[in-house]
Amino acid sequence: MKKIKIGLIAMGLFALTSLSAQEQGPRERKAPEEKFKMLDNNQDGNIDKKEFMKAVEIQFQKMAERGKEPKKVNPEEKFAKLDADNNGLIDLKEFQVIAERKMENKDPKKHFERIDANKNGKVSIEEFQVFLDHRAEKAAERGKDVKIIDAKGKFIKMDANKDGAVDYNEFLQTKKKVAQKRAEQTVK
C-alpha cells in the first residue's frame, strides 16, 4: 500500500512538472509557482482534473516517444492523492507541498539545509523539533492526519557519533536507511 501511495504521488508530480522541463535546459529549473502557472491552463489559480489529465496524457505520450513504457497507474487515483483537501482541485499550496517533498527526496543537501536553521552544518535537537513541528502544522493546515513523531528518539538514532548534533553525513545515512527500509516493506 505504501508503495502505491508513494508511486502515485511521485507519478503525479512527475507528470505535472515534466511539461515545463521540456522547454528547459538540463540544468535550468523553474520554481514550483512557475510550473504551477504553466499547468493551470485557464489561469484560475487551480489545476482541475481536466488540466491534470491533459498533463498526464502529454507526459505518457512523451514517455512513449522516448521508448519508455508509462507506469500502469490510475490518473484518477493520482489526482485524488494530490488533491489533499478533496475539493476537486489542486491549488498552489498543495502543489508546493508536493514540489517540496520531491525536492527533499531528490536533493537531500537542500533538505538538510532547511532543517539546519543556524546554518552551522549541524542539526541540533531543537532545530529538528522546530522542523518537525512546522511540517506537522503544514499537514494539519491541509487537513491531513498529523503523525506524532518522537523527535528525541529519532534524533538519537540519527546522531551516529553521539556528539549531540547531526551532520550531513549522518543525515544522509539515515535517509538511505529509511529508503532501504521502505523498499523492503514494499516488497513484502
Q: What is the pLDDT of residue 84?
A: 83
| Structure confidence at residue 164 (pLDDT) | 96
Task: For 41, list phi and psi in degrees, rounded to 5.
Answer: -55, -40
What's the mean pLDDT when you consider all of the chain? Answer: 78
% residues pLDDT > 70 (the chain): 76
pLDDT of 170 reads 95
Q: How confident is the model at residue 22 (pLDDT cuts 50, 70, 90)?
A: very low
Domain boundaries, the chain: 1-105, 107-188
Decide if pLDDT at 13 tops 80.
no
Question: What is the pTM for the complete model shown?
Answer: 0.50
107-188 — its CATH code?
A: 1.10.238.10
Q: What pLDDT, on a 0 to 100 scale, did the predictor assign at position 17?
A: 47
Residues 27, 148: Cα–Cα separation, whole Å: 37
Annotate 145-179 with b (16+ C-beta within 10 A) or e (fewer). eeeeeebeeebeebbeeeeebbbeebbeebbeeee
pLDDT grade, residue 4 (50/70/90)?
A: very low
Query: Topology of domain 1-105, per CATH?
Result: Recoverin; domain 1 (1.10.238)
Mean pLDDT of 59-81: 81
Cα gap 37→130, rounded to integer Å: 31
Q: How many CB atoms lie within 10 A of CB 109?
A: 10
The residue ranges of DSSP E strands in 74-160, in sequence order, are 89-91, 122-123
Give per-residue pLDDT as tens, 74-111: 888 888 878 888 899 999 888 887 777 776 667 788 88
Place of cell 523539533: 129
Given this chain, do its domains 1-105 and 107-188 carry the same CATH topology?
yes
pLDDT tens-digit readout, 120-162: 999 999 999 999 888 888 777 767 777 778 889 999 999 999 9
